[in-house]
Structure 1
Amino acid sequence: MPRTDTASRVITAPLDRVWDALVDPAALAVWLPPAGMTGRFERFDARPGGSYRLVLTYADASGAPGKATADSDIVEARFVDIVPGVRVVQAVDFVSDDPANAGTMTMTWQVTAVAAGTRVDIVATDVPDGITAEDHAEGLASSLANLAAHTER
């Protein structure tokens, strides 16, 4: 059954710094992986119609086996829309033999200037059944905390 998950956070950094971190592969590799994971891009082309392949590796896969291999998730994503300083929309697929992880999830990252800095809102639609709501909420919150730590200097 298709599901929508959301998360948001106000980051005490200027919008342009937060925006840059959303579209720079070096920055993304640092802050996007949730706690307990590392990430590396095999390719990255941030433009509408562009794509990326991200390998996320678990530090300890014993409690959460990966979707692609025993210790990793592989994300194939396509940039659907990029409005500089406003939003990034991605169509995301997980490489997996498990049908519970199949299907394309759309992730929209939106940034808005607020008095305290930048509000970041994430909306994930058509979340695959293999990703529990609790795990996804935890992962999104972790990525937002990492983004804050990366941009609040």
Structure 2
Amino acid sequence: MRGGSARTMGRTDKASRIVTASPATVYNAFVDPAALVEWLPPKGMIARIETFEPKAGGHYRMALTYDAPDPSVRGKASEDTDIVEGRFVELVPNDRVVQIVTFESDDPAFAGEMKMTWSLRPVAGGTEVSIVCENVPEGISAEDHAAGLSSTLDNLAEFVRQLV
């Protein structure tokens, strides 16, 4: 923040899962927008890609909408929607996807850039997929984020399993 009062950003959240697919299959699920909308949204949300340029320096814009209204849960951009603006920092085929994301929101608790590093490592029986999220906005609780990351990894595992 400007004006001398710095807001604490800096929480790092991590998750990983082994999926039964090759690193190439998993990587392709990250760079194909039709695939991404199938597995990326956590349970209870659906995704719509508005812009998608899967290259270093390329941008994307995605809307994540809750599939059932729940008055206890509010989207960051509107009542039922999160808007994510992202930039691909690094794309290393079959190895790594690094993104910087921001959330569209009037709430300062969701402000700032979050760095997401997805790493793919071949292991016996498939690929270990790891996600490291740095500078997680304080408006995203650690519990909710852990549940969302776990759900997304479960979705990815199921999605790529069907491709094999």
Larger Rg: 2
SS at match of 1:48: coil
The match for 1:87 among 96, 111, 125 is 96
1:96 aligned to which of 98, 105, 111: 105
* Distance in structure 2 (CA, Å) of the matches to 1:49 and 1:114: 30
Assess if the C-alpha contact under 8 Å between 2:23 and 2:95 holds in 1: no
Residue of structure 1 equivalent to 2:21: 13
Instruction: Return the alpha-carbon distance in structure 1 between the equivalents of residues 116 and 98 of structure 2.
Output: 6
Q: Which residue of 1 aligns with 2:66?
A: 58
Pick the aligned partner of 1:132 from 125, 130, 141.
141
Q: What's the offset of the Cα at 1:16? A: 1.2
Distance 1:41 1:131 in 2: 22
Question: Greater shift after overlay, 40-49 or 53-62?
Answer: 53-62
Structure 2: 5+ residue stretches without partners: 1-7
Of 80, 83, 92, the match for 1:74: 83
How many residues end up aligned between the 2 structures? 153
Q: Name structure 1 gaps, 5 residues minimum.
A: none
Supply the distance in 2 between the matched residues of 1:22 and 1:115 (Cα, whole angstroms): 21
- TM-score, normalised relative to structure 1: 0.98
Q: For 1:145, what is the secondary structure of its paired residue?
A: helix
Q: Tell me the distance in 1 between the aligned counterparts of 2:70 and 2:90.
A: 33
Determine the C-alpha separation between the residues in 2 that align with 1:4 and 1:41: 26
